[in-house]
Structure formats: structure tokens, C-alpha cells
């Protein structure tokens, strides 16, 4: 390898050698880059950087050359808006004027509350349904009919019954989160290898012990998969729900910027929503990995 040369030992022939002795200082840098280039992660990062720059350039050019609508801001303007919005994200000047951070926190709070309520209902229900074929058959029609309904269809009903915008948003999040957790819990409970239950039976483990020590840990990876899916859906739905109920929240913020025709702020919002969604997904992916067990 080239690295051998750099030690200088093989080049002792010096004067009589046909090849010129390599200069370490010149060789070092390209070798390091070549070494880095071998790593997939490095090449991917480089390509990512290239894509960002290319996208930025095309977008910027399209705006400057008036190829797109006048309303579309150049990426540099979006970046300036981002700095402006994120400089002081938590200011609060009353109902209609609050920092983007407050809107974001408000959305996150609704998602967390609705999601937590959904998990608190769906996991026990999933155990109950998963452990009894009779209950499963009896409940199945409800699940089959209600699951395909867009959670937003419940929004007007929520408003009528709950008479409160904030609670309605939480209710909509509850509806959107409940199905994946429920179905994955049922799946996890029902698909426990029967040998584990046989062991539990031969040891005369009580029902409660079996649930706590066998069924629960066995089904947990599946439950967390359901939670991860639910969280993804909840984060999608909250934006639409807040656009409709108004008040405070990142969805309403975007809608408000539409009224202001401030597309730069809307682009910032989209990047922000995407980033938060990504963090939430990574978090649940991590938890999912933590509870996974090696089947052996």
C-alpha cells in the first residue's frame, strides 16, 4: 500500500532508484481524503451537502429569474426568516402574537396528551381483546368500520360535544393514535409463541403473573411499534386539526402566515415540523430497540 512508502524505509535506495522519493507532506493529504472517501457515511454526507447546495442554487435562480410565482421567496429569504423567527421563539404578546416556539410547544402538548390517553386506553384494551378470541370477534366490526375514518372527520363532532377547541384537538389526536397502538397490541399479545404460555402453565403461574412477566414483555416490542406509528400519524394530523380550530399551535401558525402571504415563514414552519417529527420518530425507534429481545 501507499502507506508503506510514507515510512521512507523502502526509499533507502535513494540516488540509484528510478522513482523519485515521495514527499510525505504532499502525499499525506490526498491519502487521508482517499481513506475517508472509502467510508460510505462520508460519501453520503458529501452527496447530501452537494444536493443541498444544488437545490439551493436551482431555487435561488428560479426566484431571481422570475420562473416561479412572485410569492415564492428565495432560499436566502427563507433563511433570513428562520433566523428572525428562531431568534426569539418564546415571546408572548397576547392571543394573536406569539413566538413560533410557543406555537410548537402548544402543538406538542396536544399531541402528547392525546397520544398518552390513546396509549392508556389502547394497551389494556389490546390485552383484553388479544387474550380472548370471543372478545376479539365481537369487537372486530367496530375496529374495522372506525379505523378507516379520517380522524379529522371527528373534529366537528368533537367541537359540538366538547365545546372547546383545545380539547377537540386532543380528542382528534386521541382518535388518530388509538388504532395503531390497539392493533399492534392485539397482534403482539396474540402472537406470543405458545411455548412461552406452556412454560407459564406448567409452572402454574397465576394469570396476573403471566400477564406481567410473560405476555407484557413478549408483546412490548410490538406495542412500541404501534406507538411509533401512532406518533407519526398524530404529528401529521395535529397540523390539519389546528388549521381548523385556530388559536395557538404550529398548524394555525402556518394558516395564519397564509393569510399574511408570508411564504418564507411557512417554509420555515415546514422544516421545523419535519425536524420535530424526525426527532419524535427517532425517539420511538430507540425505545423500540431497547425493548426488543433476541429470539433464540
Residue 212 touching another protein (CB under 8 A): yes
Cβ-based neighbours of 73, under 8 Å, separated by 6 or more:
63, 81, 263, 264, 267
Residue 206 touching another protein (CB under 8 A): yes
Backbone angles phi, psi at 58, to 5 degrees: -60, -45
Of residues 25, 69, 259, 296, which one binds another protein by CB under 8 A? 296
Q: Which cell numbers hold the place of 39?
A: 467510508
Determine the interface stretch with another protein among 24-32, 147-155, 173-181, 198-206 (rule: CB under 8 A).
198-206
Residue 236 touching another protein (CB under 8 A): no
Of residues 213, 282, 289, 290, which one binds another protein by CB under 8 A? 213
Query: 98 - beta bridge partners?
Result: 92
How far lies 80's CA from each of 19, 49, 286, in Å?
Answer: 55, 20, 34
Q: How many residues at the interface with another protein, by CB under 8 A? A: 21
Determine the interface stretch with another protein among 5-13, 60-68, 180-188, 203-211 (rule: CB under 8 A).
203-211
Nearer to another protein, 2 or 137 (CB): 137
Calpha distance 91→171 (Å, rounded): 28
Residue 198 touching another protein (CB under 8 A): yes
Q: Which cell numbers hold the place of 293?
A: 429481545
Nearer to another protein, 43 or 213 (CB): 213
Nearer to another protein, 19 or 204 (CB): 204
Comparing CA positions, the residue from 264, 263, 267, 238 lying closest to residue 251 is 238
Residue 207 touching another protein (CB under 8 A): no
How far lies 60's CA from each of 54, 203, 222, 274, in Å?
Answer: 10, 70, 45, 22
Of residues 17, 88, 209, 275, which one binds another protein by CB under 8 A? 209
Nearer to another protein, 147 or 290 (CB): 290
Nearer to another protein, 189 or 272 (CB): 189
Of residues 102, 112, 218, 244, which one binds another protein by CB under 8 A? 218
Q: Minimum Å distance from CB 295 to another protein?
A: 6
Nearer to another protein, 83 or 291 (CB): 291
Of residues 184, 185, 200, 265, which one binds another protein by CB under 8 A? 200
Q: Contact positions toward another protein, by CB under 8 A?
A: 195-196, 198-206, 209, 212-214, 217-218, 293-296
Amino acid at each position: 500500500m501507499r502507506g508503506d512508502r510514507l515510512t521512507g524505509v523502502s526509499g533507502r535506495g535513494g540516488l540509484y532508484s528510478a522513482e523519485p522519493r515521495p514527499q510525505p507532506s504532499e502525499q499525506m493529504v490526498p491519502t487521508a481524503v482517499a481513506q475517508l472517501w472509502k467510508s460510505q457515511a462520508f460519501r453520503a454526507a458529501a452527496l447530501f451537502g452537494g444536493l443541498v447546495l444544488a437545490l439551493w442554487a436551482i431555487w435561488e435562480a428560479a426566484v431571481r429569474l422570475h420562473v416561479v410565482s412572485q410569492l415564492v421567496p428565495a432560499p436566502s429569504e427563507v433563511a433570513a426568516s428562520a433566523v428572525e423567527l428562531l431568534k426569539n421563539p418564546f415571546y408572548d404578546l397576547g392571543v394573536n402574537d406569539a413566538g413560533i416556539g410557543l406555537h410548537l410547544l402548544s402543538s406538542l402538548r396536544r399531541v402528547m396528551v392525546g397520544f398518552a390517553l390513546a396509549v392508556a386506553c389502547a394497551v389494556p384494551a389490546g390485552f383484553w381483546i388479544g387474550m380472548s378470541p370471543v372478545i376479539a370477534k365481537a369487537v372486530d366490526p367496530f375496529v374495522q368500520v372506525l379505523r378507516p375514518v379520517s380522524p379529522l372527520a371527528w373534529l366537528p363532532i368533537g367541537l359540538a360535544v366538547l365545546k372547546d377547541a383545545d380539547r377537540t384537538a386532543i380528542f382528534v389526536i386521541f382518535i388518530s393514535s388509538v388504532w395503531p397502538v390497539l392493533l399492534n397490541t392485539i397482534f403482539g399479545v396474540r402472537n406470543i409463541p405458545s411455548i412461552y404460555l406452556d412454560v407459564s402453565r406448567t409452572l402454574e403461574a397465576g394469570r396476573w403473573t403471566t400477564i406481567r412477566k410473560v405476555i407484557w414483555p413478549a408483546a412490548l416490542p410490538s406495542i412500541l411499534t404501534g406507538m411509533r406509528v401512532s406518533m407519526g400519524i398524530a404529528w401529521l394530523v395535529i397540523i390539519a386539526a389546528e388549521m381548523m380550530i385556530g388559536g395557538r399551535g404550529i398548524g394555525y401558525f402556518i394558516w395564519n402566515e397564509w393569510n399574511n402571504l408570508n411564504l418564507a415563514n411557512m417554509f420555515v414552519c415546514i422544516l421545523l415540523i419535519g425536524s420535530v417529527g424526525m426527532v419524535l420518530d427517532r425517539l420511538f425507534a430507540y425505545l423500540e430497540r431497547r425493548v426488543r429481545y433476541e429470539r433464540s
